[in-house]
Structures are given as structure tokens and as C-alpha cells.
Structure 1
Amino acid sequence: MPIEMPRLGLGTYTDDDQEGRYDAVKTALDVGYRHIDTAQVYENEEYVGAAIADSDVAREDVFLATKTVHHDVPESPGDVRDAIEGCLERLGTNYVDLLYVHWPTGVYDAEAVLGAYQDAHDDGLVEHIGVSNFLPEHLEEAREVLDVPIAAHQFEMHPLLPQDELRADAREHGYWAVAYSPVAQGRVADLDPVVEAADAHDASPYQVALAWLLSKENVAAVPRATGRAHIADNYGARDLELTASEVAAIDAIEDRERLIDPEWAPWN
């Protein structure tokens, strides 16, 4: 069975206004979110941590996830422990609930990087170990290296990229498949089955796309949002139950589009 983790979290990636993540996180916690997702490379861990500390929610009630990145930072796998401790320092916490390897590229070496993750777990700095943007062969390699199960795999997933193979691996091995870009950067609002379901439920297309993901076994999602209305709208997906025919109609969408596709990604 997967670890206990709130299935809908707040993603905090942005390419501008990093300080704005403080207000977004505080608002999300006020709305009811208890899962916050960030990363070393987002350069906003300081603001995310400050928002959690300044909120009315106790740290132990927040499922906090971050990621270290190894395609170009740090310069060598030997710096992984420093990267992990740097994340904790910026977040102002002595542990994270989930630490992801951000990309299995560049200087990423499974034994070196995951060995450092395992040590951090054993030392109490990391409650659970996750991976992000892995291919099936990377997942198998990680399982061979780690002494604890993979807790989560975060990757792009939405109605235009349903990721059947990766979701199947999550079900088989009992971990969470965590969707980033879960509303396809707004493109779900142009998909007829999504819009039709939204009209039927008096919901937004974004709520429908998130509810579709949450209807899947072992799937969670971390949509990013700014502003109370947007944050609350996404959170409303938790209470939206799609019919079997609505889920099937979204499943049947044939168009495919990957939005996050750097040249150094493992699938390129």
C-alpha cells in the first residue's frame, strides 16, 4: 500500500515571483491543503518554509516534499548530502516528509545519489524517498539500490499524457504516481470531454481534470496555483465525483502532448 499522503497538494514551481510562493502556500494551508511540493531548483524553498512556519498549521500536519536535482547541480554525486541539508536549511525544518530525485540525468548515478538519500533517511532527515521523471528502467535500478521502497514517483500527467505504463508500475509496486502539470497548463479547458463534464457538474475544467486523476488508483496531483480563488477551485476537485462514463470519455482522448520536454530529459 502507498504511504499516507494527501492526494491533492500545492505545486510551487514558477519562473517568476518566487516571493509570491509565500502567499500561495499560506493561502493553500488556510484553504485546507496539507501537502506542499517544492524543489531545490525552484529557488523558493526559503519562502515555502517561512509560509509553513508562519501559518496556523503545525509542521507535523504538513506533508512537505522537495527535490534535489542532479542534471547539473550539484557538480558531482558526492555533493548530494550537502544538497539535501541545503534543502532542509532553506525550508527551516529538520526533516522532509518526502525527498525526490528530480531527474535521472547528467551526473545522476543511482548508487551514489540514492545511497546518499538512503543515508539521509536512516539519519532521520528524510521520512520517505521518491523519484521524479524516471523511466521504467530507472525505477527498477532504484529498487535494487534502495533499502526502503520508493514512496512516490512524480512526473507529468494529465488527460493529454495519461502515462499508462508509469501508473501501472506504481500500482504494481505500491507507491504514489504524483502528477505535475495535471491540468496541462490550462489546455484541459479545450478538451470536449472535460468541458462537458465540467458543465454537467457546474465545475471548472481544471477541477474535472484533477478529479479524473484522483479517480485513478495510486494517483495524486500537485497543481500549482496563485490567488485564493484559483487555489480553492483546485481544492474543490476533492469533492467532485465523476461518473464512470465521464471518466471513460476522458480516458478515450486520443491527442497526446508532453509539455515539459528538456533536451536532456531521459526519454530524449
Structure 2
Amino acid sequence: MISRRDYLKCSLIAGAASTLPVGFLHALEGQQLIQRAIPKTGEKLPIVGLGSSATFRRLAEDGNTNQLSDVIKTMLDNGGRVFDTAPGYGESEEVAGEIVQQLGATKDIFWATKLNVAGRGGAAADPAKAHAQLEDSFRFIGKDPIDLIQVHNLGDVPTQMGILKELKQEGRVRYIGVTFTGSSRYADLVKVLKDEPVDFVGVDYAVDNRDAARDIFPVAKDRGVGVLVYLPFGRTRLWNRVGDRPVPEWAKEISIESWAQFFIKFAAAHPDVTTVTPATSKPHHMLDNLGAGVGELPDKALQKRMAEFVDALPSA
């Protein structure tokens, strides 16, 4: 019986002839992505990366490695390198790890994965299962140390953060952090930022979902914590709100050519944001997303105008 790893390898080789047209992957050549420094070290990261939930996850579970390989190549060949994943995203972590290893690009990626084996309803995490999940991540990604591992969705922070702190002390992970999407537990997230030596926080933030800028970002700034922005499109919410409307002409003043760039540039414009990581499974969407990371970002006046424009639209 063929293993998943062998299947993925064969799929990648078989799909070599169906890769993107010459020149497509380098469409942003000559334009550099804006970089932001990780507060505690000064290491710089591109302001736009790639997430692996949603459609990326679905294609990974379907075994569509050719298209996902093109997405990752598009990111790498245009200056991106932050890849956000999680064991909780189905096959995404394993499939992406295999693709990147086949590309010979494991060291070129800033890997941001997660840990969560806590039970439903806040049940305690089993340390043995947590260690097993982490070892799977090391095996799938093929990189030791892993760049960033975060406690996913505030799952049993005392147990799982304790394990991550040990890993960092041992030199097996470079940065540690915590994530949550949804304002219902922002108070808990703030407590972790204040009580634990975290390097990153992952949180939802979008042009129509700005609570994190008020509740999370100031604490992150005060504590020297980097910010990964999730859901800059509100999953599908913002797409439903804008519908088939054209991007406003005034947004083109800073070279916004698409709604994706509108949404990402808004999120990236906040000075406390390190990297925005929208998920996608399509190479041309990856390229469009990266386009938000070049040129100007909206100033405060334009951010206000962008927010007011979206707020005036009907709710999705």
C-alpha cells in the first residue's frame, strides 16, 4: 500500500508539466514586499504571508498537490515566506511540509504552526498527546528548530505553553505564542500576553472587525509581541458585503487594484501588525494578495475612509 508521503511525491513529479506559465511566478519581480521586524529580535518578515485553512485545507485533503505547490511557489518566488498552519487544519501541515521539502525550500519558509490537544469545553490537555502532536509537526515540516509554535485557540494554556517554553529552552522552537479568533476571549488572550513570555499572538483583524486594534494590539506592543493577523477577509463575510462593486477610485491612489488588496492593505497598515496571513488555494489569488505588500500602505486618514466605506455597506 502506497504511503501518503510516497503518494504526494509521485503527484508532485507527475504534475511537473502542469505548473504555472513562465513568468507568472515572478510577476512581482523588482518590487520588494514591505518587511516588519519581530519586536523581540528585530528579525524581519514580509508583511504578507499564506494561511492554510479554508480552501487550502480542502485541496490538501483532496490530494491536489499540484495547485498547492504552485501557490507556495508563487509566494516564495515573489518574496513571501511566512506560512501559517496547524495540525487542526486537516492535512494542510503534512501536505505543505511535503511540498516544500520537494521544492528544496524548507529553510526558506518561516513556519508558524500550532499546538492544541486540549479537550472540548476546556478539558485539560494530555501532555503525552501534546508531545506526540509536536513530534508529528517536526516530522511533517522537516525543520528543527521550527520557527514558531503557538498554543492554538487558548487551549489549556498552562499545560501547552509550559511544553512550548521547554521546547524553546531546548532550542527546538525559535518563537512561541498563542492564538484566538473572536472577541469573546480577548480578555483571556490579554492575560496570557501579560503573564507568559510569548513572542507572537495570532488574532482576527479586518476592516469591519477592528476590536483587536483596541483590545489586543496595545498590549502586544507594550509586551514586545509580534502580531499575526488572521481572517483579513472575514472568511467570506467581506466578499459578500462588497459583492460585485468595483474598488473605489480613491483606493487606487495607493495602487489598490482589487478588493483582496484593499482588505489586506488595511490590516497591514496598522503599525503593530507583523504579518497578515490570508489563506488561499489559487496561485493567482496568492499573487494578488502579495500585491498588497508592495508600495504604499494607507495612512490613518485613508484607513478611516476605508473603514467608513465598508461600514456603510449592508452587513453580510
- TM-score, normalised by the number of residues in structure 1: 0.81
* Superposed counterparts of 1:183-202, under 5 Å: 183-189=233-239, 190-191=241-242, 195-196=247-248, 197-200=250-253, 201=255
Residue 65 and residue 166 in structure 1: after superposition, are their counterparts in 2 closer, same or farther (change >3 A)?
Answer: same
User: Residue 48 of structure 2 aligns to a residue in which SS?
Assistant: coil
- Residues 139-158 of structure 1 show CA distances to partners (whole Å, capped at 9, x for unaligned) of 424643x4xx3111112211
User: Residue 165 of structure 2 aligns to a residue in which SS?
Assistant: helix
Offset, 1:137: 3.1
CA contact (8 A) 2:52 2:279 kept: yes
Q: Which moved more, 1:167-176 or 1:117-126?
A: 167-176
Rg (Cα) greater in structure: 2
2:222 equivalent to 1:172:
yes
Q: Give the corresponding residue for 1:156.
A: 204
**Equivalent-residue separation in structure 2 for 1:77 and 1:22 (angstroms):** 34
User: Residue 114 of structure 2 aligns to a residue in which SS?
Assistant: strand
Q: Give the corresponding residue for 2:59.
A: 17
* Superposed counterparts of 1:1-268, under 5 Å: 1-3=39-41, 4=43, 5-14=45-54, 15-18=57-60, 19-20=63-64, 21-42=68-89, 43-55=91-103, 57=105, 59-72=106-119, 76-78=125-127, 79-105=129-155, 108=156, 110-133=157-180, 135-141=186-192, 143-144=194-195, 146=196, 149-162=197-210, 163=212, 164-189=214-239, 190-191=241-242, 195-196=247-248, 197-200=250-253, 201=255, 203-219=257-273, 220-241=275-296, 242-252=298-308, 254=311
Residue 119 and residue 223 in structure 1: after superposition, are their counterparts in 2 closer, same or farther (change >3 A)?
Answer: same
CA contact (8 A) 1:160 1:258 kept: no
Structure 1 residues without counterparts, runs of 5 or longer: 260-268
CA contact (8 A) 1:102 1:131 kept: yes
Query: Aligned pair count?
Result: 252
Question: 1:126 is matched by which residue type in structure 2?
Answer: V
CA contact (8 A) 1:8 1:222 kept: yes
Question: 2:171 is matched by which residue type in structure 1?
Answer: G
Question: 1:135 is matched by which residue type in structure 2?
Answer: Y
**Equivalent-residue separation in structure 1 for 2:190 and 2:313 (angstroms):** 23
User: Residue 26 of structure 1 aligns to a residue in which SS?
Assistant: helix
Offset, 1:231: 0.5
User: Residue 8 of structure 1 aligns to a residue in which SS?
Assistant: coil
Offset, 1:166: 1.1
CA contact (8 A) 2:125 2:159 kept: no
CA contact (8 A) 1:153 1:177 kept: yes
Residue 187 and residue 141 in structure 1: after superposition, are their counterparts in 2 closer, same or farther (change >3 A)?
Answer: closer
Residue 212 and residue 175 in structure 1: after superposition, are their counterparts in 2 closer, same or farther (change >3 A)?
Answer: same
CA contact (8 A) 1:198 1:205 kept: no
CA contact (8 A) 1:160 1:257 kept: no
Q: Which moved more, 1:152-161 or 1:240-249?
A: 240-249
**Identity across aligned pairs (percent)?**
22
**Equivalent-residue separation in structure 2 for 1:66 and 1:150 (angstroms):** 14
Residue 256 and residue 239 in structure 1: after superposition, are their counterparts in 2 closer, same or farther (change >3 A)?
Answer: same
Offset, 1:232: 0.5
- Residues 237-256 of structure 1 show CA distances to partners (whole Å, capped at 9, x for unaligned) of 11142254321212445479
Structure 2 residues without counterparts, runs of 5 or longer: 1-38
**Equivalent-residue separation in structure 1 for 2:138 and 2:107 (angstroms):** 15
CA contact (8 A) 1:11 1:223 kept: yes
Residue 258 and residue 179 in structure 1: after superposition, are their counterparts in 2 closer, same or farther (change >3 A)?
Answer: farther
Q: Give the corresponding residue for 2:18.
A: none
- TM-score, normalised by the number of residues in structure 2: 0.70
Q: Which moved more, 1:241-250 or 1:30-39?
A: 241-250
Question: 1:137 is matched by which residue type in structure 2?
Answer: D
Q: Give the corresponding residue for 1:266.
A: none
**Equivalent-residue separation in structure 1 for 2:267 and 2:47 (angstroms):** 10
User: Residue 216 of structure 2 aligns to a residue in which SS?
Assistant: helix
